[in-house]
Amino acid sequence: MNNLHVWLEATRPKTLPAALAPVLLASALAKADGGFDWRAALICLAFALLIQIGTNFANDYLDGIKGTDTNARIGPQRAVASGLVTPATMKRVTIVTLAVAFCLGLALIPFGGWWLLAVGVSSVTCAWLYTGGPYPLAYNGLGDLFVVLFFGLIAVGCTYYVQTGGFTLDVFLLGLGCGLLVNNILIVNNYRDLDEDRQAGKRTLVVKLGRRWALRQYAASSLFAGSVVFWFILRGYGWYLLPSLVPVALGFRQAIRLPDLNGPCDFLGALKASGQVVALYGVLFSLGLVLA
């Protein structure tokens, strides 16, 4: 396996729609509301991608040195745990990635004000604290909250604000729906790793509440994302938003299929499909808003 491929896999490309969709949705809503700014949108997109990749690198490093990820895991190889990247190298690359993200985020201050500095600091800090620090979020059942907050409410809300200077109930609901849909990617990941996480003392929501809860959570998140589509139609954004229900239906299909998955290939496919649901929802919903 060549070095470039190792690092590409370490970014966990199947999770990257989690960074792209919120920025796309917020920018499309800003466009529909007459406030789109391509410069702010582009900076938000780059910042979100780097935070996502930095979080993935930090997770690879921290789970690797803690022994949470082992060669016996069902999912894809992790760079540090498999020995393909040394812990010291992964740590350095993680810090550099998050530092670049933070510096890039500073460029948003002229668009939205100095309070965005707090958003940047909290984003970078929580990217590390997700699996690091004295109280790792992912190890104490707070990973889902982190995802919904940072890849839903904050990502959508801040992206919309730096382009329009405002925040509305529509933005809140869109951010919540997006965040819940993004969190379905994490649910699949934790559903797959339940036994390994339990042995390692990683108390995810799936470990705490069981796989049946995870299935219900996945379906409920999809249902809420679908209800947001109808909310926007009723708000007058038009019937162009109806195709956005297609990925929602695919999400329900994934929830039904999860109990029947068995082995690395099945779970890898489910993880990929959950990412595609987020991407398709983001694209179709955004297109509907622009056409509106």
22 close to 182: Cβ distance less than 8 angstroms: yes
Q: What percent of the chain has pLDDT over 70?
A: 96
Residue with tokens 């792209």: 20
Among positive and negative, which fits the CA dihedral 72, 76, 80, 85? positive
Task: Work out the end-to-end distance of the chain between its first and last CA atoms, rounded to an integer number of angstroms.
Answer: 47
pLDDT score at 74: 59
Among positive and negative, which fits the CA dihedral 5, 6, 7, 8? positive
Q: Quick check: 3 pLDDT over 80? A: yes
pLDDT band at 2 (very low <50, low <70, confident <90, very high): low
Mean pLDDT for the stretch of residues 114-130 = 92
Work out the number of other CB atoms within 10 angstroms of the CB of residue 273: 18
Write out pLDDT tens, residues 47-87. 999 999 999 999 889 888 877 665 555 556 788 888 888 99
Q: Quick check: 185 pLDDT over 70? A: yes
What is the CATH architecture of 3-291? Orthogonal Bundle (1.10)
Break the chain into its structural domains and give their ranges.
3-291
Write out pLDDT tens, residues 220-229. 999 999 999 9
Directed axis angle between helix 38-66 and helix 3-10, to 10°? 100
Mean pLDDT for the stretch of residues 175-190 = 94
